[in-house]
Amino acid sequence: MESWNYEVFWKEAVSQIKNSISKEEFTMWFNNILYCSSSENMIVLSVPSNFFMDQIKQRYLTFITDTMEELSGNRITVSFTVKKNSSEKKDSLSAEKKTRQNSLKTEEEFPKKHPDLREDYSFENFVIGENNSFAANAALAISNNPGKAYNPFLIYGGVGLGKTHLLQAIGHAIYEKSEAKKKIVFVTAESFTNEFVNSLQKNKPHLFKNKYRTVDLLLVDDIHFFQNKEGLQEELFHTFNALYGSKKQMVFTCDRPVSELKNITDRMKSRFEMGLNVELNPPNFETRFAILKNKVESLGITISDDILELIAQNITSNVRDIESALIKLIAYAELVNKKITKEIAQQQLVDVFTTSKQSNFTIDTIQKKVAEYFNLSHIDLRGRKRTKAVAFPRQIAMYIARELTEYSTTEIGSDFGGRDHTTVMHAIQKIEGSMKSDPTMEPVINNIIRSIKEQSSKT
């Protein structure tokens, strides 16, 4: 009898993951997975709890299986066994094991599930607040009336604010409603590009054309990736026209307003801007709290409101950071078999809270620190003076504001004495240019940035 051992493939897959995620994330998830055994086309790993199992499946399972397939030439099924930390057997969190039952049932229960869409990115799981209600309602309208209400629909905003979630929610809703399954394609701009390049390399451009020009619903995530890609834009332009002409709905997401994309042809920009463009903003406290509440409920876990409040108060940047703080806390509690108290939450999240604060710089702090560096008053930076002594530091401050914050050039302009966004864009280009031509510039800018970070971590 042959004895199977896939441990070496598992180890290699792990080391590849290690290189592609942060050290903290790696330690949290992978230090707690152990190799158990192998049988024919199957590997068994042990994890400390069901919560871990669910998280690992959701986050890494595809990557692990794909990597092991590449390495071994076999499709190896990964299965998990839960080995609880034996020290304390107290039921740490009153997990109702709801999630697991759900995830086991999903395949039979939802035969309508679209394979390319993440199951949890649905409208049901999207919490509506003042920051996103316009976008969410437009998305619902489009799902009810694809190709008619607004075409194309484009959602823009900073990272972790729910762009991909809403985009996929539209996909789910239309897919569930369509009787004869419509051709619904979700693709990231990056894989769209890769597919296009591959089709050219293989001398089969028609395959690409046939695929994309005949879809019923096209969802493209992160179109800022198309910047600087001329050939691709040409192809996309034709795809767009074909779909638009036959009234097929298109939805795009982008990390900034279309007007701020660089190196995208004007005709492509004007097409992106044709239908409806809506911005997603960071959520306020109430919405952050509601999102956390919703998340713990769907995980089937009980955490007291004062702890959720603590997270909602301290993490203001975006929803992704809020979710990962919560997950970190739950994972910790499951590992050590402890009930989460406010003290534990404080202790465990101290790093998360401070880095989140640091990335939340105000334009005011930036102006003050730049002014201090150049011996000016920060009022000057906001004022109208155009002397070189003021104009150059002002441009530096604008540049840093764009680097350190999520504000758009329009918002930055308005904080600099109501200047136009083109002035801000010009300033940014100017500083980028001088950083290239003048080797003394970068250290100056880095010094100022450091002082801003120090200042912000104190408050």
Q: How many residues bind Mg ion (CB under 5 A)?
A: 2
CA distance 295 to 138: 23
Q: Which stretch binds ligand ADP (CB under 6 A): 28-36, 123-131, 236-244, 266-274?
A: 123-131
Among 78, 278, 319, 366, binds ligand ADP (CB under 6 A): 319
Q: Does 291 bind ligand ADP (CB under 6 A)?
A: yes
Q: Does 168 bind Mg ion (CB under 5 A)?
A: no
Residues 136-165 that bind Mg ion (CB under 5 A): 163-164
201 burial via Cβ count (<10 Å: 0-12, 13-18, 19+): exposed
CB 452, CB 369: distance < 8 Å: yes
Q: Which partner from the list ligand ADP, Mg ion, none does 275 bind, CB cut-off 5 to 8 Å by kind?
A: none
- CA-derived radius of gyration, the chain: 25
- Nearest distance from C-beta of residue 40 to Mg ion, angstroms: 38
Q: Which residues pair with 254 in a beta bridge?
A: 156
Among 13, 64, 76, 127, binds ligand ADP (CB under 6 A): 127
* Closer by beta carbon to ligand ADP, 69 or else 260: 260
* Cβ neighbours around 342 below 10 Å, total: 12
* Closer by beta carbon to ligand ADP, 146 or else 162: 162
* Closer by beta carbon to ligand ADP, 298 or else 348: 298
Q: Which partner from the list Mg ion, ligand ADP, none does 291 bind, CB cut-off 5 to 8 Å by kind?
A: ligand ADP
Q: Which partner from the list Mg ion, ligand ADP, none does 153 bind, CB cut-off 5 to 8 Å by kind?
A: none
Query: Which of 312, 332, 331 has its CA nearest to residue 322?
Result: 312
Helix, strand, coil percent values for the chain (each to nearest 5): 60, 10, 30
Calculate the alpha carbon distances from 24 to 31, 295, 310 in Å: 10, 22, 21
Among 10, 52, 80, 126, binds ligand ADP (CB under 6 A): 126
CB 174, CB 125: distance < 8 Å: no
Q: Which stretch binds ligand ADP (CB under 6 A): 23-31, 267-275, 316-324, 407-415?
A: 316-324
Q: Does 279 bind ligand ADP (CB under 6 A)?
A: no
Q: Which residues pair with 185 in a beta bridge?
A: 218
Q: Which partner from the list Mg ion, ligand ADP, none does 320 bind, CB cut-off 5 to 8 Å by kind?
A: ligand ADP
* Strands 153-156, 77-82: pairing kind: unpaired
CA distance 56 to 298: 17
Q: How many residues bind ligand ADP (CB under 6 A)?
A: 16
DSSP state of 112: T
Q: Does 60 bind ligand ADP (CB under 6 A)?
A: no
Give the interface with ligand ADP as residue ranges (CB under 6 A): 121, 125-127, 132, 159-165, 291, 319-320, 323
